[in-house]
């Protein structure tokens, strides 16, 4: 209570004081650009993914532009120890994502390297994935994909280095005949997701779909 008084939660958009369980005020929330495309639509991410690997369906919650509010939200989640922001983003996703009668079989989030996980203290995708799992009643597995290489933050890499991701991931368990939903925070080149997708596809007669918090066009 005292900390709430001394260090009140402030809107990431306008800096006004807001309840502790929110990221933005009502006014700034209306300024977030939520992508209009649904899970089954031929959207931008699906087009990009199809250039890299066979994909079933795709969904992006927000547009990730250089100066917009979604960038601040994702950065708070990843770099400012706002792990709980993942649950809020999951709630926003649930309001907009309809699997209809074609739910995936398993939710898999992009893993961090153990060294990066120790540095950050949490994987920014775990609470987000778990919240979706609970609502949609789809199992998740945080351990089925292993990151083999430690690297600096994706946001700090130049474009050429971001494209180099061979042998970054490996499968730790046998998995076949499943439709796997790969979950990540931001879709940029699609290279990270493609690396995981091919591991899943090559592991058996599997299919992959993609869900991201934001897409960077």
pLDDT of residue 155: 47
Share of the chain above pLDDT 70, in %: 89
Q: pLDDT grade, residue 167 (50/70/90)?
A: confident
Q: Judge if pTM exceeds 0.85.
A: yes
How far apart, in whole angstroms, are the C-alpha atoms of residue 126 and residue 117?
Answer: 12
Which pair of tokens denotes residue 21? 């369980």
What would the pLDDT profile of 8-61 be if each residue is shown by its tens digit? Answer: 999 999 999 999 999 999 999 999 999 999 999 999 999 999 999 999 999 999
- Span 92-107, mean pLDDT? 96
Tell me the torsion sign for CA atoms 110, 113, 114, 115. Answer: negative
Residue 161 has pLDDT above 90, yes or no: no
Q: pLDDT grade, residue 68 (50/70/90)?
A: confident
Which residue(s) pair with 210 in the sheet?
A: 58, 182
Q: pLDDT grade, residue 70 (50/70/90)?
A: very high
Report all structural domains of the chain as residue ranges with CATH numbers, in order of start: 1-31 (no CATH), 33-215 (3.40.50)
pLDDT of residue 62: 96
pLDDT of residue 10: 95
How far is residue 194 from each of residues 22, 34, 37, 171, 201, measured CA to CA in Å? 33, 24, 21, 14, 10
Helix (H) or strand (E) holding 186: strand 179-187
Question: Please, where are the H alpha helices in the chain?
Answer: 2-6, 26-29, 44-50, 69-79, 85-94, 114-120, 126-136, 159-162, 191-203
- Span 147-160, mean pLDDT? 62
Q: Are strands 145-147 and 58-63 parallel, antiparallel or unpaired?
A: unpaired
Residue 153 has pLDDT above 60, yes or no: no
What rounded mean pLDDT belongs to the chain? 90
């Amino acid at each position: 209570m005292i900390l709430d008084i001394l260090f009140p939660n402030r809107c990431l958009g306008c800096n006004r004081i807001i309840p502790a369980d929110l990221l933005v005020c009502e006014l700034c929330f209306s300024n977030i650009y939520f992508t209009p495309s649904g899970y089954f639509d031929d959207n931008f991410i699906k087009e990009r993914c199809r250039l890299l690997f066979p994909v079933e369906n795709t969904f992006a919650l927000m547009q990730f532009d250089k100066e917009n509010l979604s960038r601040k939200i994702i950065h708070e989640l990843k770099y400012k120890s706002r792990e709980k922001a993942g649950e809020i983003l999951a709630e926003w996703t649930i309001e907009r994502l309809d699997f209809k009668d074609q739910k995936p079989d398993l939710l898999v989030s992009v893993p961090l390297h153990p060294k990066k996980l120790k540095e950050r203290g949490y994987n920014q995708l775990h609470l987000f994935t778990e919240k979706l799992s609970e609502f949609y009643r789809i199992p998740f597995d945080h351990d089925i994909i292993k990151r083999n290489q430690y690297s600096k933050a994706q946001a700090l890499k130049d474009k050429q280095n971001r494209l180099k991701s061979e042998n970054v991931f490996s499968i730790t368990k046998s998995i076949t005949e499943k439709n796997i939903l790969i979950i990540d925070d931001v879709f940029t080149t699609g290279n990270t997701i493609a690396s995981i997708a091919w591991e899943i596809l090559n592991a058996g007669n599997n299919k992959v779909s993609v869900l991201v918090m934001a897409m960077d066009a």
